[in-house]
Amino acid sequence: MIDFIMKRIHFFLSMLLLLGALTLTSCHDDDGLYFTLDEVIGDISTGKQTRLVDNTIKVYTTEESGVNVQGASGAITAVSSDERVATVRCLNDQPKRVVVKGVKGGSARIIVTDAEGHSAFFMVVADDVEKAWGTQTIIMTYDEVRCRVEGVNREDSLAIVKDARARFAELKYVIKRRAYVPSEAHRMYIYDKADKLLEMYAVVWNKSMQDDTVVFQFTLFSNDVETPVENLSVGPQFGLERSVGRFYQKQYPKLKKVTIRQSVKFVKI
């Protein structure tokens, strides 16, 4: 009888241990941290979550990208293994998110920990943001610069023309494009004949016909200015026409307008 009771006790203890093990395993699976992204098809968010591919996200320098944290208990914290490559911050809303900002090219490990001490990591690969912009068109200008000045006396006008002929000769205008979902953005990079970058603008543009020839009309914006800073028109036969009075306005307060014209060569369209 005692043996029977002992066997029953042993059986129940074994079942309790097995049940405890299953419970712990289940809790571990539920509490394990993992990372997801909002699923986007085309330009529509489906509301679903997708796992990180290869447990890695990509980010460009100066820009941010984020992941959603699943399975976390309480508030989360995160650290970057190399803040020279990427920095990190946490958003403890719903869903909990980790936001990574690229600093310079390279890779780093992002370790995320919840309030109960559970940890997991993902990798971030940072790349130069300029690689996100692809060259669309290159426009070469020649050394001859025709210049028209309005609003100042002859002496000042001649001084502006002399400077403009030296300043704007043989510049290279490069139009770059970056695709976003569902739109795109354009920039204009202006280089001197030694390929030194002189200016860079965000641009909006449209195409029109003037005297049966194609003309592209650009409106230039500085990064920190919402109003246009300059207008520029260019076409293979039309040439380049650019309003550049802003370069001289401070020195010549009475100046009304400075317009330059140049012949051009489209290298890539």
Indicate whether 19 pLDDT > 50.
no
Contact 103, 63 (CB under 8 A): no
Q: What is the pLDDT of residues 187-244, one digit of tens each?
A: 999 999 999 999 999 999 998 887 778 999 999 998 766 789 999 999 999 999 999 9
Contact 220, 231 (CB under 8 A): yes
Total-model pTM: 0.74
Rounded CA-CA distance 84/78 in Å is 16
In terms of DSSP bridges, do strands 56-60 and 119-127 run parallel, antiparallel, or are they unpaired?
A: parallel
Q: What is the pLDDT of residues 20-75, one digit of tens each?
A: 433 333 333 444 899 999 877 656 677 788 999 999 999 999 999 999 999 999 99
Q: What is the pLDDT of residues 126-162, one digit of tens each?
A: 999 999 999 999 999 999 999 999 999 999 999 999 9
